[in-house]
Amino acid sequence: MSPEAALSSHPDKVGESERAAADVKFKSISKAYEILSDDDKRDAYDARGMAAFEAGNSMGAEVDLDDLLSQMFGMGMNGAPGGGPGPRKPQKPRKGDNEEQSYTVTLEELYKGKTTKFATRKNIVCKTCRGSGGKDKAKPKECSACHGRGMQHGLKSMGAGLMTQETVICHSCKGTGKVYRDKERCKKCKGERVVEEKKVLELYIPRGSKKGDKIKIEGEADQLPDQEPGDIVFNLVEAEHKTFRRAGPDLMANVNIDLSEALCGFSRILVKHLDGRGIHVKHPRHGSGPLKPGSIIKVGGEGMPHKKSDLRGDLYLLVDVDFPDENWLKKDKHIEKLRALLPEPGSSIQAETVDEVDYEEDANLDNFGGEAAQGEQWEDEDDEESSQPQCAQQ
């Protein structure tokens, strides 16, 4: 039956005596077009036929929509070609869920890149029964738990005593709507349709990757019959490094230099890089000036590599100056020589009243702000007098 011929069944185009039958048939045709024009409804029809629409099917038993669809479009359940023209294009299998997990990597591995192999266990479609779950030539029966629908209605708690209804895959038939008797089940998979397999996979982490990046191994998640397997997805977690800190493509590290190097310059390796190279820095005394605690030395192009590029970030070296201990300069004549070499001190602060105080040489900030101020413990004398009982006036 062609769509044009089906439209001739409109109730307005037939006689009065045929109108009731034409009305039922026209509604059935309209329902068929509604199913075919909606991808979700069409997929549901492919999977379970008109059983997928039983709850909302008000056509009655006068017209078989399965038969009508087969006549109109040459297709039956599961998209099989029927007797007419225009068979439906085969549907692409639905993709399964991805499997996500965290994977911790060092900063060295992110800098250089990494390829590693690992063994995993995954479900694959049983080759013996080709995913049917039954023996060869065995015929399954309709699942009694879901009545062949593959889905079941259940109640889900929403908290606070509230419940909601949800539709879930039937646990008895795993969503197929059919089950095999015990003696007819596949001996290899025991009717589960899948078996476990051990497989060695390779994970490649490109250089320049960063925390939060997702590395996919496509199609290696668990398999299910009639379904494209999902991917294994690794979420990269960056381990803390003892020397370097990363910010985007840039790196930062703390370096220590001696007081003599800060004042007179130096030429030496300051830090060992992530690939094992020594980073040699030459800081001449003349022209650059002395380095102070907190000074920054920027080394261009020695940061993290950019992915899929030859570009690199920068390396920032935060300078800390190590001062000599208290015993390095004891003789007065040496002190005077050093004083003569150093710049003159600035002008001193002037004040009308001057107190000469003692101080603690080994003090620190551990107790800073920890003790209550002495003034907070004083009590006003007026308050004390006001709190004493007074004699009543006569």
According to the model, what pLDDT value does residue 60 have? 42
Question: Span 112-127, mean pLDDT?
Answer: 94
Percent of all residues in the chain with a pLDDT value above 90, rounded to a whole number: 42
The amino acid occupying position 374 is Q
Give CA–CA dist 47/304, Å, rounded.
Answer: 51
Residue 232 tokens read as 């294994």
Looking at residue 384, its pLDDT comes to: 56
What pLDDT shows up at residue 56? 45
> Residue 146, by phi and psi: left (phi above 0), alpha (psi -120 to 50) or beta?
alpha
Q: Per-residue pLDDT tens for 163-194?
A: 777 788 888 888 888 899 989 999 999 989 99
Report the C-alpha gap between 185 and 182 in whole angstroms: 6
How far CA 246 is from CA of 299, 308, 314, in Å, comes to 14, 19, 10
Tokens of 367: 């107790």
pLDDT, tens digit, for every residue of 258-309?
A: 999 999 899 999 999 999 999 999 998 776 788 999 999 999 999 999 998 8
Q: Label residue 362 by pLDDT band (50, 70, 90).
A: confident
What per-residue string of b and e applies to 187-225 under the rule 16 or more CB within 10 Å gives b?
A: eebebbbbbeeeeeeeeebeebbeeebebebeebbbbbb
pTM for the full predicted model: 0.62
Q: Which two tokens stand for residue 127?
A: 């080759």
Region 359-383: mean pLDDT is 70
Q: Which residues does 200 contact at the CB level (< 8 Å), separation at least 6?
A: 117, 118, 119, 120
Quick check: 371 pLDDT over 90?
no
Tens digit of each residue's pLDDT (9 = 90 or more) over 200-243:
999 999 999 999 999 999 999 999 888 899 999 999 999 999 99
Q: Are 319 and 297 in contact (CB under 8 A)?
A: yes
Mean pLDDT for the chain overall: 80
> Does the pLDDT at position 50 exceed 90?
no
DSSP per-residue codes, 205-218: E-TT--TT-EEEET
Residues 179, 143 contacting (CB under 8 angstroms): yes
Residue among 282, 280, 291, 287 nearest 257 (CA):
291
> What pLDDT, on a 0 to 100 scale, did the predictor assign at position 2?
44
Find the mean pLDDT for residues 79-107. Answer: 70
For residue 58, the model assigns a pLDDT of 43
**Does the pLDDT value for residue 326 go beyond 70?**
yes
As a whole number, mean pLDDT of residues 117-138 equals 92
Q: Given a cut of 50, is residue 115 above it in pLDDT?
A: yes
Q: What is the pLDDT of residue 231?
A: 95
